[in-house]
Amino acid sequence: MSEGRRFRVIGAASGVGAQDQGCAAGPLAFHRSHAWQVMSGRAHVHWGETLFAPQEASPIQRIASVCRRLADVVATTLDAGDFPLVLGGDHSVAIGTWSGVARHLGTPPGLLWIDAHLDSHTPASSYSGAVHGMPLACLLGQGDKRLLHLGIPGRQIDPGRSVVFGARSFEPEECQLLQRLGVRVIAAGELERDGFSACLDRALAIVTTGGGPFGVTLDLDAIDPQLAPGVGSPEPDGLSAEDVRTALRWIAGLPGFTALEIVEYNPDRDRFASTANLLAALLASVIEVAR
């Protein structure tokens, strides 16, 4: 990442894709938090805007609308030479974030997807119908046509340079899809066997292959819920917050790091602002490296 680059925070305040829609309030709650007020004193960090899903439409149309607008804002941010920090909202907003990155680049980036879940269902395979369980599949060109091709024609990310990291709750249909498309999954069992650092090195070797641009999307439910309770879909035995923070600090110094997205902050479930403070610390881990 280049020295002195400005960071633009973009709120994606949509919970339409989730069963618990409290994460729609996440960006505004964080913007009003003490944690953000401390961060906002940095001259090279500013809150750009917060996007909302329209009210008068079907759920898929609402998600498609906010994702199209988010893709526009992310692409414009990158065109201006700024670094986008996207804060969700549920993980369906990733369809917009990485479509915008692909549009700016003109080619699919690599992507490190840090999550307790695989988010790779399609409408045909989903057990719940919740779209926040489908965004990775959409970015790979699978799913509802209204959520595809929002940045460039075809896939919005490069499956051969994409890794799901930390997954511990998923269905076989998702595994089969990702295996067929060539996306590497580093799940909880591999992390337990080989350790966080070795698995992170493995993941980064894939997403940085050839020195091309890549990004990171982090669902806060990847982190153990005792440390990050403010999420809509908590899963026990998650990653250490310190491990994730150290990883982001390391990643921020790598050439080709293009954008960061952190999603699924649910203030209704937060206790003593612990998740908001963790979110600020994770953002700071990236921002401090670029100073």
Active-site annotation, residues: 91, 115, 117, 119, 132, 219, 221, 264
CB 130 within 8 A of CB 15: no
Burial of residue 153 (CB within 10 Å: 0-12, 13-18, 19+) is exposed
Q: How many Å from the N-terminal Cα to the C-terminal Cα in the chain?
A: 10
Name residue, tokens 């498309």.
Answer: 181
User: Which residue from 59, 56, 54 is spatially nearest to 70, judged by alpha carbons?
Assistant: 54
User: Nearest 5°: phi and psi at 152?
Assistant: -135, 165
Contacts of 258 (CB under 8 A, 6+ apart): 78, 83, 101, 105, 109, 213, 214, 215
